[in-house]
Amino acid sequence: MTERNSYMDPSKRPQVDLSESTVGPDFDEKTWDMPGSLALSSQLTTGQVLCELAAEGRDDLVVCTADLARPTQVINFGKQYPDRLFNFGIAERNMIGAAAGLATTGLLPVISNYSFFLALMGLENIRDDICYPNLNVRMIGTHSGIAMGFYGTSHHSNEDIGALRTLANLTLMAPCDGNAIRAAFRSTLDHEGPIYFRAGRGREKPVYDAPPEWRIGGSNTLRGGSHATVLAVGNLVSAALEAADQLAGKGIELTVVDMYSIRPLDREAVRAAARQGVLFTAEEHNVTGGFGSAVAEVIADEGLGCRQVRIGLPDEYSLLGPPTHLYRHYGLDGDGVAATVRQTLKASH
């Protein structure tokens, strides 16, 4: 028997059910199908967390998706609780409205879908059906930013933070890995009102080895350094940590903060960063209107008077390509963040 790729090995990716795979042991080791592909998204822990919560007695949790239960991994919840997963087919607006209806009956619906089909396509429904009536709905928009890579620009979600953070009543958070998703769900379960969790594709490099501290309006300082601060969200948290490691050997000590709560924002973290001089924001999102803009509003509101460098995607439609190539191209990996920080600090001295 040919040794399989690591992602095809169930013992290495225990959360994904490979029994549905049609790839047999006699196939070429590079052959893969949908279940195998899903094994790569190990950071999408939503289904597991929901199963745990249901087992702990949260009978009010139900899941809604639009033909994306597998790629977003909530299929794992559906297998254990089949009468509590509602698959609406490819009808996102209907799904969002129905989730609102479910919430009015005392259930806590969790919508799990790709972010561009949820936040961008369904924006009006999120606004009118969920946020305006201030209903208890949890939304998890996965595959944000350019994570979908070569699927193309239509599948890139670089505008969701900008759109969502204008919606009153909405709490917007960005868990950066699987442990953060766990913490995000559990810590906010009894919050009254809608919450949107912006997550990646699940193939992110993990930041946390255990569920971190998590509160609405909070942040986690992961690295302390005296030269400058990188306030980062999502994928850029691990990129910023990598950059800090690289720069540490070159005489630049960075503070790195996981600013997982985008709305409301941890204003104290922004103030602290501003005291260090140049402040960097980093996100996998258009630099216009996104997390960096939210930070800029605080700087302006409070007259913090510091310079801000926004690391993110330029204000244009993103290229397609393999995700890793895209991150490199746009300077959204460790090397890219390190280069931006180094050049900026060099120029300002």
Residues at the contact surface with other proteins, assessed by CB under 8 A: 62, 83-84, 86, 88-89, 91, 93-107, 109, 124-125, 128-129, 132-134
The residues pairing with 279 across neighbouring beta strands, listed in sequence order, are 229, 308
Q: Which of 171, 179, 119, 110 is nearest to 143 (CA)?
A: 119
- Angle CA 41–47–53, to nearest 5: 145
CB of 121 to other proteins, least distance (A): 11
Query: CB 191 → other proteins: shortest distance, Å?
Result: 17
Of 126 and 181, the one with the shorter C-beta distance to other proteins is: 126
C-beta of 68: minimal distance to other proteins in Å? 15
Q: How far is the CB of 120 from other proteins (least distance, A)?
A: 16
Instruction: Please report how close the Cβ of residue 93 comes to other proteins at its closest, in angstroms.
Output: 5
CA distance 282 to 336: 11
Q: How far apart are CA 239 and CA 232, in angstroms?
A: 9
Rounded least distance, CB 122 to other proteins, Å: 10
Q: For residue 244, what is the enclosing H or E element?
A: helix 235-248
* Phi, then psi, of 220 in degrees rounded to 5: -125, 120
Distance CA 145, CA 234 (A): 9
Question: In this structure, is the dihedral angle defined by the CA atoms of residues 229, 230, 232 and 237, taken in order, positive or negative?
Answer: negative
Q: How far is CA 96 from CA 42, 88, 89, 128, 333, in A?
A: 26, 10, 12, 10, 34
Nearer residue to other proteins within complex by CB, 98 or 326: 98
Nearer Cβ to other proteins (134/221): 134
Q: Which is nearer to other proteins, 6 or 104 (CB)?
A: 104
Nearer to other proteins, 123 or 274 (CB): 123
The whole-angstrom separation of Cα 119 and Cα 123 is: 5
CA distances from 18 to 33, 38, 43 (A): 10, 9, 17
- By C-beta, is 95 or 222 nearer to other proteins? 95
The tokens describing 213, both together, are 């501290």
| Shortest distance in whole angstroms from residue 96 CB to other proteins | 8
SS3 string of 99-145? HHHHHHCCCEEEEEEEHHHHHHCCHHHHHHHHHCCCCCCEEEEECCE
Q: Which is nearer to other proteins, 137 or 294 (CB)?
A: 137
CA torsion angle for 72, 74, 75, 77 (degrees, to 10)? 170
Task: Judge whether 276 and 255 are in contact, CB under 8 Å.
Answer: yes
Q: How far is the CB of 79 from other proteins (least distance, A)?
A: 18
CB closer to other proteins out of 86 and 260: 86
The least CB distance from residue 108 to other proteins, in Å, is 10
List, edge to edge, every strand of the sheet that includes 195-198. 85-87, 61-65, 108-114, 138-142, 195-198, 171-173, 261-263
Q: Which is nearer to other proteins, 113 or 281 (CB)?
A: 113
